[in-house]
Structure 1
């Protein structure tokens, strides 16, 4: 329950600072994890990205201000952190479907988005297999690209990387270099440092990095490892959601400050076998 309480503390912080710039690092500190893991947990539990939730809450309050006061639109825009009227109009319409200038019209319809409160929900008993393993450092070699601090900006980059890896023949090249555990094609999101986050399509190997490749060493961690299979990416996304929403809150573990690893044991996306590795530490 402590983990859920910390998440709700972060939500209360958001509510207290909706007219301020809300730093993801501050929220993550309250929740006791990295900004990357906080955004990931939030998205799975709330069903929307953190930035979208904050936008909806700000625009919900902005609609109330427009309806009940005499403030100018530009003043309300500045109040909620929008220096450009155009940016405020765009955000407002994306949430409410109408321009802020029309809110005072009789019969104008706007939406209300109340604050989220996280709770543990008991669902039907569906088993989840996992194992806990302590691993020494893992050296990986492969293709890498920088990630953004805001998680949802990376949703386009990562699929493009996998497509590029398939088209250019990188996957079989990497498979030929693989000689260390974990044995599989790896998707490694090392995004805990917001200034230097990177995503790797790689393998664990002692071989030298070839031209156009990067090497990276993952430090020693304790890992919670979950096997899965099915049609990807849906199957792996569903497993990751279950890990965050069902296993983590009651496991006695919490996220450690390390990368997430997807291990593709059978890379056929229509019949994939994989493992999800998350770094954990005992509470």
Structure 2
């Protein structure tokens, strides 16, 4: 499958550049993916963040170097991207449980993290509902952003909305919300990241609504250009299946724009949808 070939090309690119600075634009290009989505897609498929995978692969090779050569530890540290022996020692101990100097002792216990290889797993026994929406105008949003650690996003984001409700911010958004929508993207919106940042362990989650008029001074403005969107009901389920089931077989690529979570008012079915920016292959 073409999609699998692309992802494995990205793994090859990582492997070939472990001893030098990785160009993340080239890495995303190897996978024919947008920079914005590649790290999230990688994490969803592999179960590990992109930066952590690269770190473990480098420290695996560093351990091999320590055992088979008598080169200085700092030289090996520099070879795998560490500027000081101390930072290398901390990272090495976190992965292997021992100091770099101890790795040279006979019988030292080390951990080898193998290169990943993506393979096809047959799924899809449950259908995924979706529709395509073409929005030929800018989306102008007002709201505020909050930093979210990527690894804890599914726990943190519900807490952000709960806190927003307690503080009255949700009601403020409801009062500002779109009265005469141009499209089906209405209600309260959660924008998952404002800019492309392939290596981020943290991203900005923008909580807002579509709005035109005199913007409140205490809120930010976010503008999203015209785009085509794949829209999925049931946000939690859509996030779980988007990268592993829909993208590989859809005939679409993910556009270099953030995804948007839409939370609708009472009586609306579905109650929430995930809007994913896409382009035709």
1:214 matched to 2:214: no
Q: Distance in 2 between matches of 1:146 and 1:157?
A: 10
- Structure 2 residue matching 1:93: 3-state secondary structure: helix
Residues 33 and 254 of structure 2 are in contact (CA less than 8 Å); yes or no, is this contact kept in structure 1?
A: yes
Point out where structure 2 has 5 or more consecutive residues left out of the alignment.
none
Query: Are 1:227 and 2:233 matched, yes or no?
Result: yes
1:232 paired residue number: none
1:246 to partner: Cα distance: 0.7
CA deviation digits over 1:167-223, x for unaligned, max 9?
A: 43211100111113422211113444449x853100122243212112222211111
Q: For residue 278 of structure 1, what is the aligned residue in structure 2?
A: 276
Counterpart CA distance in 2 for 1:159 and 1:71 is: 50
Q: Normalization by structure 1: what TM-score? A: 0.85
Aligned to 2:97: 97
Q: Higher mean Cα deviation, 157-166 or 52-61?
A: 157-166
Native 8 Å contact 1:19 1:81 kept in 2: yes
Alignment of 1:147-226 (within 5 A): 162=161, 165-179=164-178, 180=181, 181-194=184-197, 199-226=205-232
Paired residue total: 269
User: Is 1:57 aligned to residue 57 of structure 2?
Assistant: yes
**Which consecutive residues of structure 1, in runs of 5 or more, have no partner in the other structure?**
230-235
Whether the aligned pair in 1 keeps the contact of 2:196 and 2:257 (CA below 8 Å) is: no
Distance 1:161 1:253 in 2: 31
The 2-side partners of 1:60 and 1:266 are apart by 51
User: How far apart are residue 2 of structure 1 and its match?
Assistant: 2.2
1:99: Cα distance to partner? Answer: 1.4
Alpha-carbon distance in 2 for matches of 1:170, 1:64: 54
Q: Please report the RMSD computed on the Cα atoms of aligned residues, expressed in angstroms.
A: 2.8
Contact 1:36 1:191 in 2 (8 A): no
Deviation at 1:153? 10
Check conservation: 2:189, 2:262, Cα contact below 8 A. yes
The structural deviation recorded for 1:155 is 8.8
Moved more, 256-265 or 44-53: 256-265
Which whole-Å CA distance do the structure 2 matches of 1:20 and 1:191 have between them?
29
Displacement of 1:7 after TM fit?
1.6
Q: Within 1, Cα distance between the matches of 2:119 and 2:56?
A: 21
Which SS does the other structure have where 2:6 is aligned?
helix
Deviation at 1:42, TM superposition (A): 0.4
How far apart are the structure 2 equivalents of 1:200 and 1:280?
20
Partner of 1:103, secondary structure, is helix
